[in-house]
């Protein structure tokens, strides 16, 4: 028999080895890399990188004002995530039952005009100091060509140096529009991600895959926000759906419940208007956004290469830490992953 603490210690040494070798600096490039440079600097190292001057030529850089977007979208309905607190797809305590759920946002169909009114109003508290719900365009089903075909021409259909380096076209391109009310909870994706900020700025709190053991990935019953008659939201369980997710909030980590999180060392990447972040596959990330007029971004998901040791390593970490040490059930996920699925179970 082996003491659980000995397994945890082995992971802590591993986490520190990786940190000692790599530090927590963010790589930066002042121009778009060549395909060779992109592999050398970014993909091969599986390290994040801030890239400047990579999409100055996009028409969107100039045209994507509120007025233009309303006009271009021409009254078409779009899908908007609505939450009481800005956390969509996050582990949330249901105060009624005192039980934690993975809570999906309420989704509303509305016009761009209506969205913009709700978005800007969401920053203004009412007379009692209470904030309205948070509105966030954050559908990740390749939303740009699906729901925003009218404005898709304002950005490139792929990132040429990335496509050439990875020998692939993007698997999905998503359109994001929100403000500082919305926060994306810590998670990871099995994609090489290029994240271009067109308006405002975003802050990414990034942790390498080696810090899996700090994240306390656990299995939660799924639920969804549903507006109620008291202008609030109920958390409505979705029967028979279980989701593995990360409960730690890096902004306020509960180190009593999640003591291994103290070994995690974030890289903080603030991505300003006109800058692009390379967010490597399987890096944990929490995302905040700034900008009074709202933050717009377009991200390109390229399928990650599964044929390295990185992908199966996450399965190993899960079996050793989540299942054996933390006694979490073994979901035996078909893709050995825990991602925000492009097809949400909503």
- Chain residues that interact with a copy of itself, rule: CB under 8 A: 1-4, 6-7, 9-11, 13-14, 17-18, 21-22, 35-36, 39-40, 43-47, 164-165, 167, 208-210, 305-313, 315-316, 319-320, 323-325, 336
Residue written as tokens 């060509």?
145
- Please give the backbone phi and psi of residue 287, each rounded to the nearest 5 degrees, phi first: -130, 125
Nearer to a copy of itself, 44 or 93 (CB): 44
CB of 102 to a copy of itself, least distance (A): 25
Nearer to a copy of itself, 45 or 153 (CB): 45
In whole angstroms, what is the distance from residue 81 CA to residue 138 CA?
A: 7
CB of 158 to a copy of itself, least distance (A): 17
Nearer to a copy of itself, 1 or 124 (CB): 1
Nearer to a copy of itself, 74 or 167 (CB): 167
Residues 41, 43, 48, CA angle at the centre, nearest 5°? 75
In whole angstroms, what is the distance from residue 93 CA to residue 247 CA?
A: 10
In whole angstroms, what is the distance from residue 145 CA to residue 197 CA?
A: 18
Nearer to a copy of itself, 47 or 199 (CB): 47
CB of 343 to a copy of itself, least distance (A): 22
CB of 287 to a copy of itself, least distance (A): 23
Nearer to a copy of itself, 235 or 314 (CB): 314
CB of 32 to a copy of itself, least distance (A): 15
Dihedral angle over CA of 273, 344, 188, 160, nearest 10 = -50
CB of 235 to a copy of itself, least distance (A): 34
In whole angstroms, what is the distance from residue 119 CA to residue 177 CA?
A: 9
**What angle separates helix 112-121 from helix 66-73, to the nearest 10 degrees?**
150
- Please give the backbone phi and psi of residue 48, each rounded to the nearest 5 degrees, phi first: -65, 155
Pairing of strands 87-88, 90-94: unpaired
State how far Cα 43 lies from the chain centre: 19
CB of 172 to a copy of itself, least distance (A): 22
Nearer to a copy of itself, 158 or 164 (CB): 164
* Residue 212 near residue 314, CB atoms below 8 Å: yes
Q: What would the DSSP string read from start to end of 255-294?
A: TTT-GGGGG--PEEEEEETTEEEEE-TT-EEEEEEE-TT-
In whole angstroms, what is the distance from residue 290 CA to residue 267 CA?
A: 18
Maximum distance among all alpha carbons in the chain? 67
CB of 168 to a copy of itself, least distance (A): 11
Nearer to a copy of itself, 22 or 270 (CB): 22
């Amino acid at each position: 028999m082996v003491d659980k603490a000995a397994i945890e210690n082995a992971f802590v040494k591993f986490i520190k080895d990786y940190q000692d070798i790599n530090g927590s600096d963010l790589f930066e490039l002042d121009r778009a890399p060549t395909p060779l440079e992109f592999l050398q600097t970014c993909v091969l190292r599986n390290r994040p990188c801030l890239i400047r001057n990579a999409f100055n030529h996009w028409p969107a850089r100039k045209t994507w004002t509120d007025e233009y977007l309303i006009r271009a979208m021409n009254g078409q309905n779009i899908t908007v995530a609505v939450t009481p607190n800005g956390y969509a797809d996050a582990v949330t305590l249901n105060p009624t039952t005192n039980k934690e759920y993975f809570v999906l946002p309420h989704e509303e169909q509305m016009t761009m005009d209506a969205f913009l009114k709700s978005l800007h109003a969401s920053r203004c508290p009412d007379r009692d100091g209470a904030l309205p719900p948070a509105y966030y365009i954050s559908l990740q089903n390749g939303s740009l060509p699906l729901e925003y075909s009218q404005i898709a021409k304002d950005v490139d259909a792929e990132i040429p140096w990335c496509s050439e380096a990875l020998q692939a076209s993007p698997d999905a391109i998503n359109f994001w529009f929100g403000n500082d009310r919305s926060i994306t909870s810590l998670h990871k994706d099995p994609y090489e991600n290029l994240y271009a900020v067109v308006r405002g700025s975003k802050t990414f709190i990034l942790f390498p895959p080696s810090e899996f053991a700090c994240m306390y990935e656990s299995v939660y019953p799924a639920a969804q926000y549903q507006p109620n008659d008291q202008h609030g939201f109920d958390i409505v369980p979705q029967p028979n759906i279980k989701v593995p997710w990360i409960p730690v909030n890096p902004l306020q980590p509960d180190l009593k419940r999640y003591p291994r999180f103290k070994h995690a060392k974030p890289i903080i990447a603030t991505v300003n208007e006109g800058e692009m972040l390379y967010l490597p596959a399987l890096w944990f990330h929490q995302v905040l956004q700034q900008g009074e007029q709202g933050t717009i971004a377009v991200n390109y998901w390229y399928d990650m290469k599964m044929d390295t040791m990185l992908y199966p390593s996450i399965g190993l970490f899960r079996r050793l830490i989540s299942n054996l040490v933390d006694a979490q059930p073994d979901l035996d996920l078909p893709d050995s992953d825990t991602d925000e699925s492009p097809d949400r179970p909503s």
